[in-house]
Amino acid sequence: MTIWAEIPWNEMCAEWTCVILDYSPLYWIQCGYYQYWLGIFPAWNFYIEKQDSNGHWMLPLQLLHPLVGHTYTYAIWYDTTQAQWRYAILEGSTWLYSGWRPVDPDQPCDLQGFVETSHKGVHIGGSHFSKLTYWDPGISWWPYWNRHDPYTSPHTSYSLDERGHYEFYASGGG
């Protein structure tokens, strides 16, 4: 995913991939980046986050900052040998960060890619999700997403430019 957003003072923007573990109650594990203001300076951080039956947990990777215009890969997969969820953030073939997190429940029920803002005026042009894949333990491979359900809030000026099941651009705001 390529990051770029212009955010006004006191607003935020985030972009992430997410594995939904349960919809009722809503349990998930995700990783991505968020942009916010630190005093008078804009700041960016990668993060890992989960919500499950054990509660909420978030790890901002404060020593690892995404760079505007760079493309990163967020990976989340279930390691059946260790019975835990693993995650990684890569730039090209370079692993920037990886780790693991046990969650309960631990079985996926949906996959999501999101761009979210705290205000309808935040400009998110350049948000690009591409080569969205999922881990299939039956074939030990990462096939592309083969279906999708696009959604943009009707109360904002944001839009999606879909290129297929596994690629889209998000834009709008201003």
According to the 3-state scheme, what is the secondary structure of 47-101?
Answer: EEEEEECCEEEEEEECCCCCCCCCECEEEEEEECCCCEEEEEEEECCEEEEEEEE
pLDDT in tens, 109-157: 999 998 888 777 777 777 888 889 988 888 888 899 988 888 888 877 8
pLDDT in tens, 22-41: 999 999 999 999 888 777 77
User: What is the CATH T-level fold of the domain 13-172, as seen in this structure?
Assistant: Jelly Rolls (2.60.120)
pLDDT for the residue 5: 56
pLDDT in tens, 48-104: 999 999 999 999 998 888 887 888 999 999 988 888 999 999 999 999 999 999 999
pLDDT for the residue 114: 87
pLDDT for the residue 7: 62
The H or E element containing residue 116 is strand 110-117
**CA–CA gap between residue 37 and residue 111 (Å, rounded):** 29
Instruction: HSE, CB side, 13 Å, CA atoms: give it for residue 139.
Output: 7
pLDDT at 1 over 80: no
Which residues, listed in sequence order, are joined to residue 8 by a DSSP beta bridge? none
